[in-house]
A and B are shown apart, each in its own frame.
Chain A
Amino acid sequence: MRSYWARRVGSSVLILALVLVLNFVLFRMMPGDPVASIVDPKFSPEAKARLMEVYGLDKPMLTQFALYVKSSLSFDFGISFLTGRPVADELRSRVPNTVALLGSSLLLSALLGTWLGIQAARKRGGALERLVLWGGALSYSFPSFFFQLMLLMVFAAAIPIFPLRGSLSVPPPLGGAALFLDYVWHLALPVLSQVLLGFGGWALYVRNLMVKILGEDFILMARGRGLPERRVLRGHAFRMLLPPLLTILLLSLPGVVSGAVLTETVFSLHGVGRFLMEAVTGHDYPAAGASFFLLALLTVASTLASDLLYGVTDPRVRLERGRGR
């Protein structure tokens, strides 16, 4: 058992190390000049050379790599080429918005999806199951940015009941409660769009899982013993459902960050997703390196956590894992 976890942690560290190397190589492989985007056309060649020097781009590659590894491991990340501010500061100002957006939409769509999925599995062929199937299909087939732009056009431009942009009014209202409400009002449409696009996937997943679980022998036995349906669901089926559900929740964390790129672009939100995109397209090595490293960290951590959780909630898994690896 101990050795299994040691191996898991060991391989996670290995992956992080690989990501670090990959980040460095990948961005320096990108053709193009990182200072190109900050140079004024009237800069003389000497002024340009000075700029390279200021950003440490004239140093040998190995030195640059050592500096990069050091700054990543110390979570310092250096100064962004594009913004001229410390990457850590930039991330700090953006993380709260992204966490609020993704956290609330993930949670809401998971809750709604789970409830709908269970109901759909219970009443096969009903209207609810139809809703789940369609919702699921739509969430896998609708281009999110298109859907969000349409929502924005209808509910912020044509019928202005939601704000157009950002996460606060300008100037923001005074007072804690008013400020909070203002924030909620601003995030409502982005979150709503994410939930509408996301719940279907959850519901479909839960429904399929639940259909399988409800077909299992022990459920049939429980029913056969004459237990009330509610207890069968809550006591038996739900306990079977929980571990895979939590695992999926954890494992979907890194993926939703990609979704944040588009959502934050459409709703003009100050978040990590847009920062990541600008860093990549703008050759901002420190910013892109930091974001990718943190994302890899998030992925590895959530994978580990999901393994751990699986082990805690489902004792059978422990045995399987111990044998399988």
Chain B
Amino acid sequence: MTVKKLLSASILLTLLAALPASAAFDPGAYGVPKVKDLYLVILRDPDAQLLALEGGKIDMLSDLARPVDIAALSKNPAVDMSLASGFHAFFLGFNARTFPWSEAELRRAACQAIPRERIVRDLFSGYAEPLATYLPPVSPYFEPGVTTYAYDPAAAAKRLADAGWTKGGDGVLVSPDGRAVPPQKILSPTASVAPTTTEIAVRAAEALTSIGIPTTAEPMDFSTMLARLDKRNFGMYVMAWSMGKDPDSLYSFYSSKMDVPGGYNLSGVQDTALDDVLDRLKFAPDGTAAAAAASEAQKMLSDLVPAVPLYSRYSISAIRKGWKNVFTSERTTADNLWTLLAMEPESGPMRPLYLAQTDEPRALSPFTSTTAYDWQILGMIYDGLMASDPETLEDMPWLATSWSVSDEEGPEGMRTALAFTLREGVVWQDGRPFTSADAAATIEFLRKNEVPRYYDSVMHVEAIETPDDHTLKVTMKNRSFWHLHGIGGLPIFPKHVLETVKEWRTWLPAGEKSPDDQTLTGLVGTGPFVFREYRPGEYVRMTANETFWLGLGR
């Protein structure tokens, strides 16, 4: 089914004209960004963001969350909206280590008792997808053939009765072995960024109470809540995750090996069969094995119900009319790299583009920045070896034009060897050529310094080789298909800049001057935009990288 992305006919037509007739996405149709000046206006208040878009102070607004804003903007004739499914997933989690959630039948009944559709309707006005599975449907590894538990409190009650559960005089469930369900609390954050989360906890508590599980919501400071989850001091919680493109997140969430302090297996479900499958997923030798293990894991999870999937938020973005060549797909809203590369005013000369930066940029260091807000900027400066196709989410060549994954015999069993062929003719924003030495230096730097953000990607690197300027070979310590994405997804930094970094923890590249060019900072990448200036509290200014490699052949 094709979902029409709410674009006006005119933009759809331009899109069709701009893209080759074949359905596949062609990055070759893009080049150096047409927009020359890009301002990221710091607008932290959602009201200010909305008013700025309506008033034409900014051209694009991403991640709209409030239904009122979505309703207002979709009626605004000056604005086009786009919507895409994403990897966001919101769960109600259990602590299955102790009674009552150690009882799988009770977890299943709870899953059946929660009115997802109503929650989505009432809290998001329908702008979220009710979720019944452990990976969101947009995932390439999504398995549709699993047991789901549609909302049906009567069936939930019957399920429990069939399994020998009874109800005490006070309406509280009693397990088949005679234990009454003690009062339960759902931990939820009160952060003002997620005003709906507590509402969801309250509604879930009402639903569970109605089937005989006396439950209340317990809102608390977010980091307090995380600390309690870390200490496994909870019965239930609600939390949103970004599941990521790769299904190995299932390993982090549900393998009993991750049920350690600091680990993300919060539910504590112990099941050796599940552990085996998740091991096969995590250490899959190739894509086929990974897909098979992912399917099987999803089937087992839907039977075990370690958590109740509730919904997945759509990403929704708004762009002012008057720009052409806006790219959208079922999986990306208008605010993507391709739009930034291709967009230009429908009429008149080129003008600066204003985007909303919805939080203050922080360190603006690729080593210490962990927020999406910083990476909105850094992501335009740095490139990885691989990217993903905006239509299919499949791997796509980027700084590497091709790669191969092979198994080899190591001292401790099989291990993965990755070989990347790097693109020729790519130059850094300061004019120096990009070679395999840069990629090798990047991996080496991240590994040597154990930079937390990249720790999981580079800690299993055994050896790095650069036989020539455009070949990079990385040998890993163990075997896993996901190493390809771990290494292929790293942002690549210039070796000559890395050599000047004395202490990565305190390195503030945005405040440094490049020795080659006084108009550049320490933020030098190969990406489409060049960082120019950050004025705290006001804006970040970037300009088009006129030497961006995607424009090479044009």
Residues of A within 8 A of B (CB): 30-34, 36-51, 54, 79, 82-86, 89, 93-94, 97, 156-157, 160, 164-168, 170-172, 265-266, 268-271, 281-283
Q: With A45-B263, A47-B456, A49-B262 in contact, do A168 and B370 touch (Cβ < 8 Å)?
A: no
Is B216's beta carbon under 8 Å from chain A? no
Q: Quick one: closest A residue to B362, CB to CB? A: A83
Of the A-B pairs whose beta carbons lie under 8 Å apart in the complex, a sample of 30, sorted by A's number, is A32-B222, A33-B223, A33-B227, A34-B223, A36-B227, A42-B249, A42-B456, A44-B263, A46-B455, A46-B456, A47-B456, A50-B455, A79-B505, A83-B362, A84-B368, A84-B369, A85-B508, A93-B536, A97-B537, A164-B52, A164-B57, A166-B42, A167-B537, A167-B538, A265-B45, A266-B45, A268-B45, A269-B537, A270-B360, A281-B221
Is B252's beta carbon under 8 Å from chain A? yes
User: Complex: how many Å from CA A157 to CA B226?
Assistant: 38
In the assembled complex, which residues on chain B have CB atoms less than 8 Å from the CB atom of A38?
A: 370-371
In the assembled complex, which residues on chain B have CB atoms less than 8 Å from the CB atom of A93?
A: 536-537
Q: Quick one: closest A residue to B58, CB to CB? A: A170
| CB pair A172 B263 closer than 8 Å | no
| CB pair A36 B363 closer than 8 Å | no
Most chain B beta-carbon neighbours within 10 Å: one of A36, A79, A82: A36
Q: Quick one: closest B residue to A270, CB to CB? A: B537
Is B365's beta carbon under 8 Å from chain A? yes
Q: With A47-B456, A84-B363 in contact, do A164 and B223 touch (Cβ < 8 Å)?
A: no
In the assembled complex, which residues on chain A have CB atoms less than 8 Å from the CB atom of B537?
A: 93-94, 97, 166-167, 269-271
Instruction: A165-B45, A170-B41, A270-B537 are known; give 9 further A-B pairs, CB within 8 A.
Output: A31-B228, A32-B224, A50-B450, A79-B505, A86-B506, A165-B42, A166-B537, A170-B39, A170-B539
User: Complex: how many Å from CA A38 to CA B370?
Assistant: 6
8 nearest CB pairs, A to B? A270-B537, A84-B363, A32-B223, A45-B262, A47-B455, A84-B368, A83-B362, A36-B226
> B224-268 toward A: CB 8 Å interface, digit per residue (1/0)?
111110100000000001101000010010000010111110000
Q: Quick one: closest A residue to B43, CB to CB? A: A165
In the assembled complex, which residues on chain A have CB atoms less than 8 Å from the CB atom of B262?
A: 45, 48-49
In the assembled complex, which residues on chain A have CB atoms less than 8 Å from the CB atom of B45?
A: 165, 265-266, 268
Q: With A32-B226, A37-B222, A82-B362 in contact, do A94 and B354 touch (Cβ < 8 Å)?
A: no
| CB pair A270 B223 closer than 8 Å | no
In the assembled complex, which residues on chain A have CB atoms less than 8 Å from the CB atom of B242?
A: 41
User: Complex: how many Å from CA A167 to CA B536?
Assistant: 10
| CB pair B223 A37 closer than 8 Å | yes
| CB pair B230 A168 closer than 8 Å | no
User: Complex: how many Å from CA A45 to CA B380?
Assistant: 29
In the assembled complex, which residues on chain A have CB atoms less than 8 Å from the CB atom of B228?
A: 31
| CB pair B352 A171 closer than 8 Å | yes
Chain A contact residues: helix, strand, loop or mixed: loop
In the assembled complex, which residues on chain B have CB atoms less than 8 Å from the CB atom of A42?
A: 244, 249, 252, 264, 456
Is B554's beta carbon under 8 Å from chain A? no
User: Complex: how many Å from CA A33 to CA B538?
Assistant: 30
Most chain A beta-carbon neighbours within 10 Å: one of B48, B263, B369: B48
In the assembled complex, which residues on chain B have CB atoms less than 8 Å from the CB atom of A85?
A: 362-363, 508
Is B51's beta carbon under 8 Å from chain A? yes
In the assembled complex, which residues on chain A have CB atoms less than 8 Å from the CB atom of B227?
A: 31-33, 36
In the assembled complex, which residues on chain A have CB atoms less than 8 Å from the CB atom of B369?
A: 84
Q: With A36-B222, A41-B264, A165-B43 in contact, do A54 and B535 touch (Cβ < 8 Å)?
A: no
CB of A173, distance to nearest CB on chain B (Å): 13
In the assembled complex, which residues on chain A have CB atoms less than 8 Å from the CB atom of B75?
A: none
| CB pair A33 B455 closer than 8 Å | no
User: Complex: how many Å from CA A277 to CA B360?
Assistant: 14
CB of B185, distance to nearest CB on chain A (Å): 15
In the assembled complex, which residues on chain A have CB atoms less than 8 Å from the CB atom of B260?
A: 45
Is B473's beta carbon under 8 Å from chain A? no
Q: Quick one: closest B residue to A165, CB to CB? A: B48
User: Complex: how many Å from CA A270 to CA B244?
Assistant: 33
| CB pair A47 B52 closer than 8 Å | no
| CB pair A46 B536 closer than 8 Å | no
User: Complex: how many Å from CA A266 to CA B362?
Assistant: 21
User: Complex: how many Å from CA A231 to CA B416?
Assistant: 93
> B10-53 toward A: CB 8 Å interface, digit per residue (1/0)?
00000000000000000000000000000101111100100110
In the assembled complex, which residues on chain B have CB atoms less than 8 Å from the CB atom of A89?
A: 508
In the assembled complex, which residues on chain B have CB atoms less than 8 Å from the CB atom of A271?
A: 537
Contact of A157 among B43, B51, B352 (CB under 8 A): B51
Is B541's beta carbon under 8 Å from chain A? yes
User: Complex: how many Å from CA A229 to CA B363?
Assistant: 61
| CB pair A40 B505 closer than 8 Å | no
CB of B251, distance to nearest CB on chain A (Å): 10
CB of B28, distance to nearest CB on chain A (Å): 32
CB of A178, distance to nearest CB on chain B (Å): 15
